Every structure is written in C-alpha cells, then in structure tokens.
Chain A
Amino acid sequence: MGEVINAKGLIREYESVKGMIKKERIRIEALKGVSFEVQQGEIFGLLGPNGAGKTTTIKILTTLLAPTAGEAEVLGFNVFKDAKELRKHINFIFGGERGLYWRLTAKDNLNYFSDLYGVDKRTRAKRLPELLEMVGLQDRADEKVEAYSKGMKQRLQIARGLINDPKVIFLDEPTIGLDPVGARDLRNIIRMLSGMGKTILLTTHYMYEADELCSRIAVINAGEILALDTPERLKNMNMGLSVLEVCLKDIEKKDIHAISGMDGVDAVNLTSSDHVSVLRVHCAEPYAVLQKVMNLLRKYSVTGLNIRQATLEDAYIKMVGGNE
C-alpha cells in the first residue's frame, strides 16, 4: 500500500463575529487550497507560523472538521463521508494538558478510551501496561491525572492516542511542554512507531525536531503550502549551503539592500529582538563575501560573527519571512 493520506485542494473558511453591538461578520480563509500526499510509513511534517492552518489541516484529516471545499482521503476513506469507518484506524494527539479526565486515574482514562474504541479485554490487558511503560507512567498509573505534572499529562495523551493501535497518527505539537529528555523520548517513540509501519503526520515549531524526524516537510503559511520536500532539499533550496551570521545593535534598511545586492549573496534576512538584531547572509562561499559585508558594516557595532552551515530553520525563516 502506498499512499495513505491524500489531500486535494483543501479549503476551509471560518466565520466569526466581531463587535458586540454593531455585529460584523468576518470570514477567515484558514486554508486556501492545500494539497499533499503522504506515503505509508512516512513521518510527514507540517511547519508554519502561528495561524498558518496546521491545526485546521489536522482537524479536517481527523474527521473533526468539514472542509469548505476540496477533498481528502485517509487510508482510502473520505474524511467527511466515511468518517465513522475511518475513525477506527486513526488517532490524534494534540499537545497541551487538556483532553484528559482529570478526576480519573491514568489507567481509567486509558480504560475509558479503550471502551470507546472497542478494544477487547485480552488486547487491553496486554496493551495498557505496554503503553504506560512506553511513556514512563507505569509507577503512577493509579494516581488521578489532576496530580500529574504538565509533561506527565502530555505523556498520558500520547498513550491515549495509541490505544486503538492506529495505522495513521496525527500529532499536533506533541513535544510542547515536555522537558528535553521527555521530548527526546517522544521522538524515539515516534521513530519506533514509524518503524512499525505506521504513518505519522506531525506539526511542530521546533525546526531541529522536524529536521531530525521527518522524511518530508510541507511549509505552510497563511493557508498555502510554500514548499514541500525532504529536509535536505529544503535546506538547499534557492540558496547556498552556508550562513554568515552577524549580531549587531541596529542596521539601516538601505544597508540590508546593499548586502542582498552583492555578488555571491543568495538572500539576506534580519531577525530583531529587544537588544540585538541578527543579520543572516545566505551564500555559497562565505569567505568570498565576508570582507565586503564587514566593510559595509564597519559603522555599526558588531557584537558577534559566525559562519555556519545552513539549517532547516534558515530555510524556513527565508520562506515565511523573518520579522523585518
């Protein structure tokens, strides 16, 4: 079996009401025609800034939301029309602490969802302890969830999401709120699941995570897919392999333009926080442009200089734009 997820021209509009007295309806087009395919066993990443439409895409694919237009199939089932049949074979995990019954113990949470997924007694007797151990909660499984830390709740969510042994798993920011070790454990779980032939679609805001896990990544912004490729090819797309990073206090627009016009420079972007701005110059041969760039920047106080290989994050920031 090849293709597991197939989204064709997904469009989703939301309508919301603004104002109390003079009510004004506003329509937001959260997805503007999103198409992609995911193969079996693949770990497919959706990257994009806040409000890009990632969660909306996942909700449509998990049968929770109807697309305004366009179609999607998961495992050959139409996500809207065949929702009931499809639901048996998929599951999803939304990051965060909600989505659990705080007054029940971890075990009872899992038992409850086993009932709702029709998991039989024998399978359950084997699967529950396995899942609890996998997420490292076996010792505290009889405690009520309200006494859990954020990360423990998050890990219980993961166990819940695997309760029906789904063929396709959707993960919306699964490592949010996990400590570094917990996040690494989860990445190992994800890899293990993928190794078992399960298809995984995940969203994340951590670039290295996507780089490390995903076989392919779709970068989505404002409801449109900007690029879809392997992490390697995304990194190399339209740009050289290196980045010249300059930390400085401030820089005038005209100088940025001057640098981007230089020979050998592929792209320039600037990210600014309160105290420091980072200018990133993408180029194939950093030493060839270094002299020229530094000459131009002589009038500013440069506090740091770094030459490194381009990462996925550079590609991402270049695509969706920094906060220039």
Chain B
Amino acid sequence: MNKLESIGSFFRQGIFSYKALFGWLDPKVYILTKIVSPIFQLIFFCSLARFAYGKADVTQWVIGNSILMCYLNTVFGLGGIMAEERNFGTLKLIIATPYNKFVSFIGRSLMHITDGISTVLICIAAGIIVFGADFSKVNVALFAADILIAVFAASGLGMLIGCCGLVIRDMNLLMNTAATTLLALCGTNFPVERLPLFLQKISYCLPLTRSIQAAWMIAEGNRFGAVSQLMLQEALLGILYMLAGYCTLAIMEYLSRKKATLDIF
C-alpha cells in the first residue's frame, strides 16, 4: 500500500466501523438519541437555571449544556467501541489484524468528533430558538475552534475509557460514571468555584471544563488573547488523554491475551 492509499484506508476504516457499530444511524433512532433527547436535556437544565437564578438570559447554560452534549459521541460512542466489537464477535478479528489498533481508534474517533460537533451545533440552534440565547458578540471562527477542541479533548477521555473495554466487560458502568462526572463537575450547571476544593481539582483534570469557560468568554465578546491559555490547555489535556489511552491499549492488549477476555460476554 502506498502513502495515499494508506490515508484513504485510514479514513475508510473509520467510516466503516462507525457505520457498522452504531445503531443510531437508523434515522428514527438518530433523531431520538442525537436530536430530541439532547434538546430536552438542554431545555431541562436551562429552565432549571432560569428558575433557580431568576435570570432571563440563559445563554451561559445553553452554551455549557450544548458542549456537554458531545459526551453522547465521545464517551458513549468511543467508550463503547470495544464492547460493541465484542458483541459482534469481531473484537478478536480486529485484534488479529496487523493494523495498528490505536491508529484505527483515531480513525474511528474522527467520525465521532464530526458527529459530536453536529450535536453541539444542533443544541445551540435549539437554545437560540427556544431560549433566545444571545450570540450577537461572538467571534464565530474562535467559537467554532473552541468547540472543536472541546470535542477533541472529550474524545481523548472516550478513547481512554474505550481501551479498557478489551478487558472489562461492563463498560456501561464506566461510561455512565464518566458521563455523570462530566455533568456534575464541568461547571456547566454548577459553578466550578463553588465545588469543594478536591472536586475542583478533578474538574480541571476533566475535558470540557476549560473549553466551556472559554466558550462563555467568547460569547461575551472576548478575543483569542483572552482565551488562548484555556484553549491550549484543553488541547494539551486532550493529547494527554490520548497518550494515556495509547499506553492503556498496549497494556490491555497484553492483558486480554493473558486473561482470555477477547470473547467473553
């Protein structure tokens, strides 16, 4: 295979695997899980905020909850890949190919990043329509870059979780924990500075916390200079998660062969 073909096959295998594994590609299921349910979650938290804080302008909550919604792809989509493969009986086939498993994982994450961004945008649109969220001062390019980095960093977390799926059977437990942790600690609905100190520390180890803060600042009209540090840190965090995922995958592959976990149920 030459270089060009390898690049083509890198993207293609990502798309194939995405098509193969995710039931939500069925239009009905897609609309329900990726559009209707996130919008209702958004409506719930924004209404709650309006009620609790007595504010008319809930732009902050629209932004936070919209970005948070990428966990559907990043945590549940990427995190569940290995478990899904095992259900199909294809995990051992994938492992037995010479393809670099981590590269394949990254190829798969691209589809989820794209899909995750679309969910974020749908939620923001819904926020504008339902709550009249105010984006008049926003620098669109900067805001878009922030969302991209947010979803990328969250994918790092998802990949780290996903790699554990080679050995761990009950992935839902892990994925649900990650999702609720993000919901509680990212500062979307409860300000990070009001959390107990040790939880604040955790907040800043999680993806999304920084990009949500940056997104708020961008919505208030701040330029790149003001948010660059937050965005760079977030990107770095994403890379760290991916590296951790890479190491975890290597360890898990070793363990899976030692412990015979490639096709247990």
B is a partner of A:
yes
- Cross-chain contact of B9 among A88, A98, A115 (Cβ < 8 A): A115
B89 touches A99 (CB 8 A): yes
- Cross-chain contact of A64 among B6, B89, B96 (Cβ < 8 A): B96
B13 touches A115 (CB 8 A): yes
A101 touches B20 (CB 8 A): yes
From 204 to 245 in chain A, residues with beta carbon under 8 angstroms from any chain B beta carbon are none
A98 touches B16 (CB 8 A): no
Q: Kindly provide the distance from the CB of B76 to the nearest chain A CB, expressed in whole angstroms.
A: 17
Q: A121: nearest residue on chain B (CB-CB)?
A: B5
Q: Kindly provide the distance from the CB of A49 to the nearest chain B CB, expressed in whole angstroms.
A: 20
From 49 to 106 in chain A, residues with beta carbon under 8 angstroms from any chain B beta carbon are 59, 62-66, 80, 84-85, 87-88, 91-92, 94, 96, 98-104
- Cross-chain contact of B96 among A87, A108, A118 (Cβ < 8 A): A87
Segment of B122-130, B198-206, B254-262 engaged in the interface with chain A? B254-262
Q: Kindly provide the distance from the CB of B265 to the nearest chain A CB, expressed in whole angstroms.
A: 11
User: Using a Cβ–Cβ cut-off of 8 Å, how many residues does chain B contribute to the interface with A?
Assistant: 30
B197 sits at the interface (CB 8 A): no
B9 touches A118 (CB 8 A): yes
A36 sits at the interface (CB 8 A): no
B12 touches A115 (CB 8 A): yes
B19 sits at the interface (CB 8 A): yes
Task: Give bound CA distance, A87 to B93, whole Å.
Answer: 11
- Kindly name the residue among B9, B17, B25, B94 whose own CB sees the greatest number of chain A CB atoms within 10 A: B9
Q: Size range of the interface on A? A: 35 or more
A84 touches B98 (CB 8 A): yes
B89 touches A116 (CB 8 A): no
- Cross-chain contact of B93 among A102, A113, A114, A121 (Cβ < 8 A): A113
From 201 to 249 in chain B, residues with beta carbon under 8 angstroms from any chain A beta carbon are none
Collect the chain A residues with CB atoms within 8 Å of residue B36's CB.
none
Collect the chain B residues with CB atoms within 8 Å of residue A111's CB.
12, 16
Collect the chain B residues with CB atoms within 8 Å of residue A80's CB.
257
Task: Give bound CA distance, A79 to B99, whole Å.
Answer: 17
B97 touches A92 (CB 8 A): no
From 152 to 188 in chain A, residues with beta carbon under 8 angstroms from any chain B beta carbon are 160
A120 touches B5 (CB 8 A): yes
Given A62-B96, A112-B13, A115-B9, A120–B19 Cβ distance below 8 Å? Answer: no
A99 touches B90 (CB 8 A): yes
Q: Kindly provide the distance from the CB of A86 to the nearest chain B CB, expressed in whole angstroms.
A: 9
B12 touches A88 (CB 8 A): no
B139 sits at the interface (CB 8 A): no
Collect the chain B residues with CB atoms within 8 Å of residue A85's CB.
98
B92 sits at the interface (CB 8 A): yes
- Cross-chain contact of A112 among B16, B89, B95 (Cβ < 8 A): B16
Q: A87: nearest residue on chain B (CB-CB)?
A: B98
Task: Give bound CA distance, A96 to B25, whole Å.
Answer: 26
Task: Give bound CA distance, A160 to B164, whole Å.
Answer: 27
Q: Kindly provide the distance from the CB of B85 to the nearest chain A CB, expressed in whole angstroms.
A: 9
B258 touches A66 (CB 8 A): yes
Collect the chain A residues with CB atoms within 8 Å of residue B99's CB.
115-118
Task: Give bound CA distance, A88 to B97, whole Å.
Answer: 7
A102 touches B88 (CB 8 A): yes
B1 sits at the interface (CB 8 A): yes
A63 touches B88 (CB 8 A): no
Task: Give bound CA distance, A47 to B96, whole Å.
Answer: 24
B95 touches A64 (CB 8 A): yes
- Cross-chain contact of A116 among B13, B88, B260 (Cβ < 8 A): B13
B93 touches A99 (CB 8 A): yes
- Cross-chain contact of A101 among B2, B5, B90 (Cβ < 8 A): B90
A116 touches B104 (CB 8 A): yes
Collect the chain A residues with CB atoms within 8 Å of residue B95's CB.
64
Collect the chain A residues with CB atoms within 8 Å of residue B21's CB.
101, 103
Collect the chain A residues with CB atoms within 8 Å of residue B25's CB.
103
Collect the chain A residues with CB atoms within 8 Å of residue B258's CB.
66
Q: Kindly provide the distance from the CB of A148 to the nearest chain B CB, expressed in whole angstroms.
A: 14
Q: Kindly provide the distance from the CB of B126 to the nearest chain A CB, expressed in whole angstroms.
A: 29
A287 sits at the interface (CB 8 A): no
Could you list which residues of chain B lie within 8 angstroms of chain A, going by C-beta atoms?
1-2, 5-6, 9, 12-13, 16-17, 19-21, 23, 25, 88-90, 92-99, 104, 257-258, 260, 262
Could you list which residues of chain A lie within 8 angstroms of chain B, going by C-beta atoms?
14, 59, 62-66, 80, 84-85, 87-88, 91-92, 94, 96, 98-104, 108, 111-121, 160
A-B contact pairs, 24 of them (CB 8 A): A59-B92, A64-B96, A87-B96, A88-B98, A91-B96, A92-B96, A99-B89, A99-B90, A99-B92, A100-B89, A101-B88, A103-B19, A103-B21, A104-B16, A104-B19, A104-B20, A111-B16, A113-B93, A115-B9, A115-B16, A116-B97, A116-B99, A118-B6, A120-B2
12 more CB-based (< 8 A) A-B contacts, given A113-B93, A116-B104: A14-B260, A59-B92, A63-B96, A98-B90, A101-B21, A103-B21, A103-B23, A108-B20, A112-B12, A115-B16, A117-B98, A117-B99
The 3 lowest CB-CB distance pairs between A and B, nearest first, are A98-B89, A101-B20, A115-B9
